[in-house]
Amino acid sequence: MTKMRILNRFLWLMPLMLCGLAGIALAQTEEMIGDLTVVQGDVPKRLVGYGLVLGLNGTGDESFGTRAGAVHTVQSISNMLERFGIHVPPDRMRLRNVAAVTVTAEVSPFLRPGGRFDVHIASAGDARSLRGGILFTTPLAEDVGMPPVATAQGALIISEPSDNRYRARGGTSGRIPDGGVIEYDMGVQFPDSVTLVLLNPDVSTAVRIATAINDAAGDGTAIVQDPGAVQLTSSGQAADNLIGLLAALDTLPVQTNSASRLVVDGQSGSVVAGGGMSVGSAVVTQGGITLTIVGAGAAATAAPGPGMVSATEGASVQEIAAGLHVAGATPQEIAAIFEALRDVGALNAHVIIR
């Protein structure tokens, strides 16, 4: 086959190829630039600390001040009492209402002293549950051995599973909304030149962002560096008020390719999905649960028995989740089933397990 014949065949096939690409194109949504990007250098600071949760109803660490149980909890209590001028020998302590925990958080580097943020708590010992506990004042640092820049304290909020049968298995982690407070400046300065970093790098989105900025602030204001970065080269009055320029650009709308996401809570079993998300035909067996999704024109199946969930192709994600809950599926089984539906192509979405 000559080069000319190959070229002619390619030109003949091009319309079909374009039609195929149009058929698989993602739906577009309108979002603001501020929701799609962050300023380069705005890297979140991750803080960590070690603390104590008090006020537990006998569900804390099995601490006896000896070699058995969570010895570090006893030592921590002893050190805390010493700070208040109280000395109690560790071997005389019997702690059931206290648990040693790790405290973690992620904050903006531009957060100033007095700014508040959420903190996450996780048991560091053998506590059975942290429900009803209060975190004692805990210093937070950017890394172990570094000086603290914040503190955290407050009452814990524990995620409760929807099924009472599984509540006894959880409760060893939680969070405190606005429980952290920045106490020292983290020393991060705003940059003189600005590059907008895309939260989800995509070349088409980067081009649309640059086009929207140039249309609003003048040609040459934004230049696409790569699929993940758009550089601002402001001049004149805009350069004198960089913060004002960024504030104006944050609210500019941009057409983006929307990627469907489905979020499953691995502890409570709650499922969050965008409206209209549906599933295709498939059969999934996980543990004692079998989910059967048949085509719209398929013959009706036999009446479902225990652990059997049936649905028709095109059913919404919310309907599938409701059926799984009724059938007694555990949160872990619900998460595994939706992952399996994605893997076989019956669910066109990113499945995120928390």
Q: pLDDT at position 118, please?
A: 96
Q: What is the pLDDT of residues 242-300, one digit of tens each?
A: 777 787 888 888 887 666 778 888 777 788 876 567 888 888 888 888 888 887 766 54
Q: What are phi and psi of 22, to 5 degrees?
A: -65, -30
Residues 327, 330, 331, 332: is their CA dihedral positive or negative?
negative
Only one residue has tokens 């006894």, namely: 168
Report which of 325, 326, 345 is spatially closest to residue 334, judged by C-alpha positions: 325
d(CA 292, CA 353) in angstroms, rounded, equals 22
Name the token pair of 298: 């398929």
Q: Which residue has the higher pLDDT, 17 or 275?
A: 275
Name the token pair of 237: 């009055």
Q: Which residues are CB-neighbours of 315 under 8 A, at least 6 positions away?
A: 278, 279, 293
- Section 180-189 average pLDDT: 84
Q: What residue type is assigned to position 263 of the chain?
A: V
Q: Which residues are CB-neighbours of 76 under 8 A, at least 6 positions away?
A: 50, 52, 100
Name the token pair of 44: 């979140």
Whether pLDDT at 28 is above 70: no
Helix (H) or strand (E) holding 186: none
Q: pLDDT at position 234, please?
A: 61
Q: What is the mean pLDDT of the chain?
A: 78
Helix (H) or strand (E) holding 100: strand 99-107
Report which of 161, 171, 98 is spatially closest to residue 135, judged by C-alpha positions: 98
Q: Which residue has the higher pLDDT, 266 or 13?
A: 266
Residues 303, 308, 313, 315: is their CA dihedral positive or negative?
positive
Q: Which residues are CB-neighbours of 223 under 8 A, at least 6 positions away?
A: 210, 230, 231, 233
Helix (H) or strand (E) holding 102: strand 99-107
Helix (H) or strand (E) holding 12: helix 3-23
Q: pLDDT at position 238, please?
A: 47
